[in-house]
A and B are shown apart, each in its own frame.
Chain A
C-alpha cells in the first residue's frame, strides 16, 4: 500500500510502486481529470501538480510521489462551485472536445501559483508542453489571463476583508 496525498486528502492505494500516477488516479481512484494522451510526456493531457509543479502523471511512478502534495483538476473546484480557473474556462467557453483541458488547467494553475501576473508571452511559453488538437488555444490563453486577473482581484478582496 502506498499513501498518496491528493487534493489534500490522504488515500491508500494498492498498486505496484512503478505504476504511473495517471493509472492510479483514473483506475484505482476513479478520478476523471487527468487523461491518457500519449504515455510519453509529449502532449500534456495527463498533467497534474506535484508540490506545486506541473508534471506528466503518465511518466510519474507513484513511488516517487508518496507523501507529496498532488493536485488534480478535481482539486480546483466542483461543478457546483467552480474555482477561479475553472470559472474562467467556462466564461471564455475555452473548450471544444475538452480532452486536453484538464491538463491545460493544471499546467496553468502551476504557473499562476508561482507567478500571479504572467505576461502574455510567459503564458504561451509555459503552456508549450500541452497540445490541443481542436485549436482552442486562443480561448485557453484568454481563460488563463482572465483567471490570473480574477485571482488577483479575489486575493485583493480577501486581504481587504481581513484588514
Chain B
C-alpha cells in the first residue's frame, strides 16, 4: 500500500505527533483511490473493508489514553455512546476511558454518509473487530515483554495483566507502528455471554452538555474573530436576481461585506442580529424575476402519475398454481413532507492560507468535501470538513447547503471564521423534502383466505440527491456560473430508495413489484428518514389489514400465518401480547391498529400495536397508547433503541396526522410552523412502551428509521377499526378524516 499518498499521510501524522508530544499509534487514512487496490481476500467486517488499517480506528497514547475514531456522526441518535460501548467491551476498559472522534476529514475514516440506519452495521461492526484485534496485539506485545504465554494474560481496565499479578499499562505497550497493520477480521471477539457493557443501557455521553447550556452544537461554535453571515435566498425555485442595490446596506451598523455571485447574495456583519437586519434590508431591496415552475397542487397526484417514468422490476416471481379466488386492489398517496429541523441549518467556514475549513452538521463530511472543492474549484486537499452536531436532521436536510454557504462566504471574506445560520423560512422552503409518492396494489386470496398473488407498483422520485458533487449544493445553483444538479438515480435494492421495503416480507407465491422511477423533480427532494419505506410499509400494511378483513381474519393472526421468519413472528407476537390485542375491548371513538415491517427487509424488525381516539366532530385523531416490539439483533444500548423507536413513533405520527408541504405554481407556501403544523405536546400518547428483544452475539440491525412505516400503517388501521373508514391518502388531517367518516 505504499504510495505517495500514503507517505504524505504518514508525514502529516508524524508532524501531528511531534506537535502533540505523544507516542501514539497514529492513524492511516488511505485516499479513496488507494482503497480500490485493496488486496484480494475475504470481505472484512463492516467499514473495515473500506478502511482496513487498525490505526485509523483506534489510537493508544503513551499515557494510556484511548482514542476511538468513527466516520459516522452523532445526529442525536446516540451513536457515539453505542460505539464507545462496543470498543470498551472489546478492550476490557470502562467506557469513560475512551475518547471518541467523529466524522472529520482530517482524522477519521471515510464512512460515507451517516444514513440508512447503517451506523451500527458499518461502524459498530468495524469497531468491534478493530478493538478486539488491538486488544490481541497489546496482549501479544505484553507476552513478549513479560516472557509469558499470551493465554496467561488478560486485558483489564487499560492494562494487560498476567496471572502472576504483573501488569503493563496499554500506554507502556505502545510502540510506533504497533497497530499500523491491516485488520484481519479474525480476532476472537469477547463471548457475548460475558458482556458487561454491550446490552446494558448506558447514559448518553452527549446529554449532560445539552441540558446545562454547554457548547453542544455547531450553532454554539464561537471561534476567535468570528463574524456572522446571512444569505438572502431567492423567493422561489425559478427566481433569478435582476437588480440589487447594496450601498445602503453596506452602511448599516456592523455590516462588513455584501457578497454577491450571480443570484447568490449574502451579508457579513460583526454581530448576528446585525447580519439578520442587513439580510432583511437586502431582501427588501432585491428585485427578482420569478417563474412558475411548479404544477397545480390540487391536481398534483395526477400530474405525478403522468410524468415519464423508468420502469424497474424489483421482483417478478410467478408461481404455478391456483389463481386467487377473490382479488382486491387499492392505491395510496403521500405528499411532500419535510425534515423540519427545529434548529435551522448552520455552518462555520474559515478560508485561510488557501485552505478552507468548514464545521458542519452534514451527514457526510467526505462527500461534502468533494462537493465543496468542486464548487470552489479547489483541490480536495485544500478543503477540510469537520462534523459538529446540529439540530436533528432526519435525513438530507439543508446541512450541506449551509456548509456550502459558509464556504462561499468564507472565501469572499477570508482569514476570519464566518458563521452562517439559515432563517426559519429558508429552512422550510429550501430544504429537500421527502418525495411525494403513489402506490397501488392488487392481491388475490385463495379460498382459504391466504394471499396467493401480489402485484405492487410504486411511483416516486429519487430519494437521494445528496451532495456527491457541487450541483447538489443549493447555493451552487445560484452562482453566476451555476452548477446543475446531478442526474437523479434510483438507489438499487436491497437498500432501495422509492422502492425501499416495496417487496412484501410475507409469504406470497406470486409477487410482482415494479418501481416507476420518475426522474423529473418539480419540487426539490432527497432523503427523508426511512426514504420510500415510510410509504411502502404504510401501503403494504394498510392493505394487509384490508385483506385480513376480507378473509375474516384477525389482523395479527393474518400476519402471523403469512410470516415464516421466526424473528418476525416473535416481534409480532410480543407486541400483540403486551398491547393486550386479544382482549382488546373497543370503546366509542376508539380503535386499535397493528403493523409490522423489517426495515429494508434486512435491518431491525418492528411490530407495533396502538390505540387511537377519533374525535368525530373535529376529525382529529390522537394516538392514545402504543406498544412496540423491536429486534435490533445484538442490542448495544437498549435505552438508545427505545429512545429511537419512541421518537420514531411520535415523529411518524406527526407526519401521518398533520404534514404536507403546500405550494402554488411559483413557490413553496409552507414557510413556517403555522403553514406546516407538526405534532404538539398535548397530542402525545399517554404511553409508549418499547420492548427490545435482545439477540446476544447476533449482527447489529439498524433501528433508527424502523418505526416510521409501521406507525403510519398502524394509525390508518386503527382509524379504520374505530370508524369503518379506510383512508389511503396521507396525512390523516382533520379535513380528510371528517370527509372520510362523512361528518
* Chain A interface (Cβ < 8 Å from any Cβ of B): 15-16, 19-20, 23, 26-28, 30-33, 35-40, 42-43, 45, 72-74, 76-79, 82, 86, 89-90, 93, 95-102, 105, 124-125, 127-128, 130-139, 141
Contact = CB atoms under 8 A, between A and B. Distances in A.
B685 to A, nearest CB: 7
Contacts of A36: 219, 343-344, 421
Most buried by A among B76, B204, B421, B649: B76
Interface in B420-435: 421, 423-424
Given A15-B273, A72-B213, A93-B643, 8 more contacts: A32-B216, A36-B343, A37-B342, A102-B210, A124-B682, A133-B394, A135-B651, A137-B650
23 contacts: A23-B271, A23-B276, A27-B272, A28-B271, A32-B213, A38-B424, A40-B424, A42-B672, A74-B212, A74-B213, A78-B212, A82-B211, A82-B212, A86-B211, A90-B203, A95-B204, A96-B647, A98-B207, A99-B343, A125-B682, A130-B681, A134-B647, A135-B649
B147 to A, nearest CB: 45
B213 A16 contact: no
A105 B654 CA distance: 22
A100 B211 CA distance: 10
B619 interface: no
Contacts of A26: 272
B213 A96 contact: no
Nearest to A45: B342
Nearest to A136: B647
Contacts of B344: 36-37
Contacts of A45: 342-343
Given A38-B673, A72-B213, A99-B391, A131 B204 contact: no
Contacts of B682: 124-125, 128
B674 interface: yes
Nearest to A82: B212
Contacts of B685: 138
A15 B271 CA distance: 9
B506 interface: no
B392 interface: yes
A135 to B, nearest CB: 3
Interface string B399-434: 000000000000000000000010110000000000
A35 B343 contact: yes
A138 B219 CA distance: 26
Contacts of B77: 96
Contacts of A124: 681-682, 684
B102 to A, nearest CB: 14
A99 B217 CA distance: 8
Contact of B678 (A35, A82, A131): A131
Closest 5 CB pairs of A and B: A97-B76, A135-B650, A97-B392, A98-B210, A135-B647
B639 interface: yes
A158 to B, nearest CB: 22
Name the prevailing secondary structure of the B interface residues. loop
A137 B684 contact: yes
A100 B207 CA distance: 12
Interface of B: 75-78, 203-204, 206-217, 219-220, 222, 228, 253, 271-273, 276, 340-344, 389-392, 394, 421, 423-424, 639, 643-644, 646-651, 653-654, 672-674, 678, 680-682, 684-685, 687-688
A56 to B, nearest CB: 13
Contacts of A76: 212
Contact of A133 (B207, B219, B392, B687): B392
B673 A23 contact: no
A59 B212 CA distance: 23
A11 B342 CA distance: 29
Most buried by A among B340, B421, B646, B649: B646
B680 A73 contact: no
A118 to B, nearest CB: 13
A125 B684 CA distance: 11
B204 A37 contact: no
A37 B424 contact: yes
Contacts of B639: 93
Nearest to B684: A137
Contacts of A100: 342
B392 A99 contact: yes
Given A15-B271, A36-B344, A135-B651, A101 B210 contact: yes
B256 to A, nearest CB: 15
A86 B212 contact: yes
A85 to B, nearest CB: 8
A10 B305 CA distance: 63
